Amino acid sequence: MPAVDVRLVDVTKRFGDVVAVDHINLEVQDGEFFSLLGPSGCGKTTTLRMIGGFEEPTSGLIELQGQDVTWLPPYRRNVNTVFQNYALFPHLNVFENVAFGLRRRGVKGPELSSRVGEMLRLVELPGYEKRRPSQISGGQAQRVALARALINRPAVLLLDEPLGALDLKLRKQMQVELKRIQQEVGITFIYVTHDQEEAMTMSDRIAVMSAGRYEQLGNPEELYERPRTRFVAGFLGVSNLLQGTLEGGADAYAVIRLRTGIGIRVPRGLTNGHSEVEVGVRPEKIRLFAETADPPGDANVLDGVIRDASYLGVSTQYIVETSIGEGVAVYEQNVERTEHGSLHRSGERVRLAWSPDHTFVVRAEGEAAAPASPKPET
Ligand SMILES: Nc1ncnc2c1ncn2[C@@H]1O[C@H](COP(=O)(O)OP(=O)(O)O)[C@@H](O)[C@H]1O
Ligand SMILES: [Mg+2]
């Protein structure tokens, strides 16, 4: 078991009447890439600022590498931060920007040059030493900011939406780069973002936040395949959710009875004791069959009519009006070629089938506190 690097115990932060962070507990492992993911205003930055020492918790405890740092100022913590507006020193060149933290510690001469050189290699910017911040691109500036933050070898690096100012293509490149750099230096990263794809690309684990609390914590696959709340199901990708009531069932699967009487089988371990639930399935897990075909015996099946087919190149997206009266989204990979692109056409009667193992359950809205906004900000 790797050591715990960062621990938050029951941390709350209030600003007047606003509860920005609401009794959060967290253990980040040494060397982990951990993300806080959630919509604007859910408390991500406040959590990060408390770990960095820029904000004091109203109550609770913060530990870094086993030491209580709750009341220590930022410079007494072995932590560094990269912000979205990373503000390089405009009058210093790239070398001096990266060297800044070392010079303050009295490092100079060959050791200074070699350590700055090592950092610039890490972020793939050798040859840019003499340039000013105004003479490099946004992506390069972000790399300099990263090198500057890493040069003092902090135990933990905090990153607050550091790629927010970059365009989509560059952001995607930098996500892969960041992951590589994190693995190379082995430093614990705590990364804040409202972009689910970004969090999923890089993170070992993700805490999905809403209104100052965790909705769910897990690795990207768990969060996507087995979301436990409507909020998480909607925040990470597209979900089809159907209302139903939990029934018994004799085997490894429980049955959720939909309004129309159709039973949907779900892994028993996912039912969580709630009786009014919503049963979910991701669009790409559903297969379409002809009206007359028989899907595999153990599959969950719904009958419907295709209302819309959109050919998107990689996949075709269908909206199917089902017998329970709700539109269900289905994504099919375009493996087979047909004259009109899509395999199925609008108006066609079809059967939807998917494995019980690809079915998840979330408690029905209203059974417990519901998140204010199920959509990520754009
Ligand atoms: N210094 C502050 N004073 C008052 N309210 C604040 C302050 N900082 C944050 N908040 C409030 O706390 C909540 C969480 O903010 P924040 O942590 O910045 O969220 P996020 O980073 O997830 O967008 C918001 O309602 C925000 O308005
Ligand atoms: Mg923020």
Give the number of the atom of ligand 1 that is nearest the alpha carbon of residue 49.
17
What is the C-alpha to C-alpha distance for residues 237 and 215, in angstroms, rounded to an integer? 15
Give the number of the atom of ligand 1 that is nearest the alpha carbon of residue 16.
4
CATH 3.40.50.620 fits 4-225, yes or no: no
What residue spans define the domains of the chain?
Answer: 4-225, 238-363
Give the number of the atom of ligand 1 that is nearest the alpha carbon of residue 161.
21
SS3 94: helix
What is the C-alpha to C-alpha distance for residues 64 and 44, in angstroms, rounded to an integer? 18
User: Which listed ligand is nearest to 83 at the C-alpha?
Assistant: 2
User: What's the fold here for domain 238-363?
Assistant: OB fold (Dihydrolipoamide Acetyltransferase, E2P) (2.40.50)
Distance 226 CA to ligand 1 centre (A): 29
Give the number of the atom of ligand 1 that is nearest the alpha carbon of residue 38.
22
Q: pLDDT tens digits for 308-358?
A: 999 888 889 999 999 787 789 999 988 776 655 567 889 999 999 999 999
Same-fold call for 4-225 versus 238-363: no
Q: pLDDT tens digits for 46-79?
A: 999 999 999 999 999 999 999 999 999 999 999 9
Q: Pairing between strand 276-281 and 240-247?
A: antiparallel
The pLDDT of residue 349 is: 95
Alpha carbon nearest to ligand 1 atom 8, residue:
46
Q: Please name which of 193, 189, 206 lies closest in space to residue 166, comparing C-alpha atoms.
A: 193
Q: pLDDT tens digits for 7-26?
A: 999 999 999 999 999 999 99
Q: Name the residue of 18, 36, 40 to mutate for ligand 1: max ligand atoms within 8 A of Cβ.
A: 18
Q: Is the pTM of this model over 0.85?
A: yes
Q: CB pairs under 8 A, 24+ apart, for 100-105? A: 100/148, 101/148, 101/151, 101/152, 102/151, 102/152, 105/152
At what angle are helices 138-150 and 168-185 packed, to 10 degrees? Answer: 20
Q: Name the residue of 12, 15, 213 to mutate for ligand 1: max ligand atoms within 8 A of Cβ.
A: 15
The identity of residue 306, as a single letter, is I
Give the number of the atom of ligand 1 that is nearest the alpha carbon of residue 192.
21
In 167-298, DSSP assigns E strands to 188-193, 205-210, 213-218, 240-247, 253-258, 263-267, 276-281, 287-290
Q: Please name which of 83, 85, 81, 84 lies closest in space to residue 101, comparing C-alpha atoms.
A: 81
Burial of 104 (0-12, 13-18, 19+ CB in 10 A): exposed
Contact 83, 32 (CB under 8 A): no
Distance 356 CA to ligand 2 centre (A): 38
The pLDDT of residue 339 is: 59
What is the C-alpha to C-alpha distance for residues 152 and 98, in angstroms, rounded to an integer? 10
Burial of 181 (0-12, 13-18, 19+ CB in 10 A): buried
What is the C-alpha to C-alpha distance for residues 242 and 179, in angstroms, rounded to an integer? 37
Alpha carbon nearest to ligand 1 atom 26, residue:
41
Distance 40 CA to ligand 2 centre (A): 6
Mean pLDDT estimate for the chain? 90
Q: CB pairs under 8 A, 24+ apart, for 310-317? A: 311/341, 311/342, 315/284, 316/341, 316/342, 316/343, 316/344, 317/283
Alpha carbon nearest to ligand 1 atom 4, residue:
15
At what angle are helices 94-104 and 109-122 packed, to 10 degrees? Answer: 130
For CA atoms 267, 269, 270, 275, the dihedral sign is positive
SS3 246: strand
CA distances from 361 to 223, 277, 314, 368, 370 (A): 12, 7, 28, 14, 15
Distance 339 CA to ligand 2 centre (A): 48
Distance 48 CA to ligand 1 centre (A): 11
User: Which listed ligand is nearest to 162 at the C-alpha?
Assistant: 2
Q: CB pairs under 8 A, 24+ apart, for 313-322? A: 315/284, 316/341, 316/342, 316/343, 316/344, 317/283, 318/288, 318/342, 318/344, 320/288, 320/350, 320/352, 322/352
Tokens representing residue 177 in the block: 């780069």
Give the number of the atom of ligand 1 that is nearest the alpha carbon of residue 42.
22
Compute φ and ψ for 71, nearest 5 degrees.
-110, 15
Ligand 1 pocket, Cβ-based, cut-off 6 angstroms: 15, 18, 20, 38, 40-46
Q: Which residues of the chain have pLDDT under 50?
A: 368-378
What is the C-alpha to C-alpha distance for residues 36 and 43, in angstroms, rounded to an integer? 9
Q: Please name which of 79, 52, 64 lies closest in space to residue 8, comparing C-alpha atoms.
A: 64
Give the number of the atom of ligand 1 that is nearest the alpha carbon of residue 209.
22
User: Which listed ligand is nearest to 47 at the C-alpha?
Assistant: 1
What is the C-alpha to C-alpha distance for residues 271 and 265, in angstroms, rounded to an integer? 11
The pLDDT of residue 366 is: 59
The pLDDT of residue 337 is: 63
What is the C-alpha to C-alpha distance for residues 183 and 31, in angstroms, rounded to an integer? 8
The pLDDT of residue 260 is: 87
Alpha carbon nearest to ligand 1 atom 18, residue:
45
Which residues partner with 258 through β-bridges? Answer: 244
